[in-house]
């Protein structure tokens, strides 16, 4: 991709997908490669399917926003970026992109105000401050290492220009810095993904997935045996008609193969609405994060 050998890159991606059809990084790379070839519709289809299969990944939503914005679909871009930020509240690139999208939506609104009232000097002044529409940058050529790379939607004076192959622009350098930062917090993202999977299983009253989120050495409360705890949780969860569990403001502390996650838990069912401060201690077992201890206040 970096050298512009798109046919060879696609051939290699498709070959790798034959043996690993669900690999999110390969699928993400295919979407980015299609975008590089200006195959926007196909790229959007690939990324949309990726968000369906891996809803916790923020990068596909971010890059969908890039493609939507390039097509003038700024409201769709806004929705995609909101989802990216919901999945990763510390995703700085997505916040910057969202600011650019809001700026364009504001510019369009001011433009309509001026068309409806040519004497509206206030709207003209505000529109002048915003300038032209933000441009969608080229997709970064650097391949993802630990996870999909982020792509920015930044204002550019010459949005239609294409950089020479092999020459690094500030956009490429920015993408490389983002990739390095992403690799550094990859472990935290995996932990948060495990916690969100647990919350979704609880909300869906999916007992198999819910209980599967706990480790074999889970510290059961009140001295209960593991069997008694399972029976109690099953009765409480399946006995409700509906449940919704939301996680807000999570904080992760890593310590090797152990992680502590503190967050605000919003619980709502047909019988109860409650907000708790919860702490989960997770351990890594066979490459997967599992809950070993659960505390609520």
3-state secondary structure the chain: CCCCCHHHHHHHHHHHHHHCCCCHHHHHHHHHHHHHCCCHHHHHHHHHHHHHHCCCCHHHHHHHHHHHHHCCCHHHHHHHHHHHHHHCCCCHHHHHHHHHHHHHHHHHHHHHHHHHCCCCHHHHHHHHHHCCCCCCCCCCCCCCCCCCCCCCCCCCCCCCCCCCCCCCCHHHHHHHHHHHHHHHCHHHHHHHHHHHHHHHHHHCCCHHHHHHCECCCCCCHHHCCHHHHHHHHHHHHHCCCCEEEEEEEEEEEEECCEEEEEEEEEEEECCCEEEEEEEEEEEEECCEEEEEEEEEC
Residue 143 lies in a domain: no
Number of folded domains in the chain? 2
Domain shared by 124 and 219, yes or no: no
Residue 146 lies in a domain: no
Domain shared by 170 and 42, yes or no: yes
For the residues 184-212, what does the mean pLDDT come to? 87
Domain shared by 170 and 33, yes or no: yes
Q: Report the Cα 67 to chain-centroid distance in Å.
A: 16
Query: Is 60 exceeded by the pLDDT of residue 17?
Result: yes
- Single out the residue in 123, 150, 174 at which a domain terminates: 174
For the residues 159-174, what does the mean pLDDT come to? 38
Residue 147 lies in a domain: no
Residue 262 lies in a domain: yes
* pLDDT the model gives residue 167: 39
Query: Is 70 exceeded by the pLDDT of residue 238?
Result: yes
For the residues 39-47, what does the mean pLDDT come to? 91
Query: Is 50 exceeded by the pLDDT of residue 76?
Result: yes
Residue 212 lies in a domain: yes
Q: What is the mean pLDDT of the chain?
A: 80
Domain shared by 170 and 26, yes or no: yes
Residue 148 lies in a domain: no
Domain shared by 114 and 207, yes or no: no
Question: Residue 104 — pLDDT band, cuts 50, 70, 90?
Answer: confident
Domain shared by 170 and 232, yes or no: no
* pLDDT the model gives residue 131: 64
For the residues 256-264, what does the mean pLDDT come to? 92
Domain shared by 102 and 236, yes or no: no
Domain shared by 20 and 54, yes or no: yes
Domain shared by 93 and 205, yes or no: no
Query: Is 90 exceeded by the pLDDT of residue 38?
Result: no
- CATH code, 223: 3.10.450.50
- Single out the residue in 174, 200, 235 at which a domain terminates: 174
- Single out the residue in 119, 146, 174 at which a domain terminates: 174
* pLDDT the model gives residue 176: 46
Domain shared by 198 and 289, yes or no: yes
* pLDDT the model gives residue 50: 92
Domain shared by 218 and 131, yes or no: no
- Could you tell me the residue range of the domain that residue 23 belongs to? 6-136+166-174
Domain shared by 28 and 88, yes or no: yes
**Largest Cα span, the chain:** 76
Residue 145 lies in a domain: no
* pLDDT the model gives residue 186: 63
- CATH code, 52: 1.25.40.10
The whole-angstrom separation of Cα 21 and Cα 47 is 14
Query: Is 50 exceeded by the pLDDT of residue 154?
Result: no
The whole-angstrom separation of Cα 291 and Cα 282 is 4
> Edge-to-edge strands of the sheet including 243-255?
243-255, 258-269, 273-285, 288-296
For the residues 256-263, what does the mean pLDDT come to? 92
Residue 142 lies in a domain: no
* pLDDT the model gives residue 117: 87
The whole-angstrom separation of Cα 115 and Cα 109 is 10
């Amino acid at each position: 991709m970096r050298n512009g050998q798109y046919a060879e890159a696609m051939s290699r991606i498709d070959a790798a997908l034959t043996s690993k059809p669900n690999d999110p990084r390969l699928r993400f790379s295919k979407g980015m490669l299609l975008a590089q070839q200006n195959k926007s519709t196909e790229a959007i289809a690939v990324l949309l399917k990726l968000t369906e299969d891996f809803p916790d990944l923020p990068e596909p939503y971010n890059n969908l926003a890039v493609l939507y914005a390039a097509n003038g679909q700024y409201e769709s871009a806004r929705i995609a970026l909101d989802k990216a930020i919901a999945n990763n509240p510390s995703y700085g690139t997505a916040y910057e992109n969202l600011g650019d999208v809001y700026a364009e939506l504001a510019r369009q609104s001011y433009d309509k105000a001026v068309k409806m009232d040519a004497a509206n000097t206030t709207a003209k002044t505000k529109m002048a401050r915003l300038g032209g529409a933000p441009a969608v940058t080229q997709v970064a050529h650097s391949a993802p290492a630990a996870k999909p790379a982020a792509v920015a939607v930044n204002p550019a004076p010459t949005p239609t220009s294409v950089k020479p192959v092999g020459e690094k622009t500030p956009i490429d350098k920015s993408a490389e810095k983002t990739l390095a930062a992403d690799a550094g917090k990859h472990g935290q993202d995996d932990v948060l993904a495990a916690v969100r999977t647990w919350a979704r299983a609880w909300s869906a009253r999916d007992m198999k997935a819910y209980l599967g989120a706990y480790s074999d050495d889970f510290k059961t409360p009140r001295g209960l045996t593991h069997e008694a705890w399972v029976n109690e949780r099953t009765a409480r969860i399946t006995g409700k008609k509906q449940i919704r569990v939301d996680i807000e403001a999570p904080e992760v502390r890593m310590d090797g193969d152990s992680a502590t996650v503190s967050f605000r838990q919003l619980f709502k069912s047909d019988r109860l609405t409650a907000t708790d401060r919860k702490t989960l201690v997770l351990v890594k077992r066979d490459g997967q994060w599992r809950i070993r201890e659960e505390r609520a206040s």
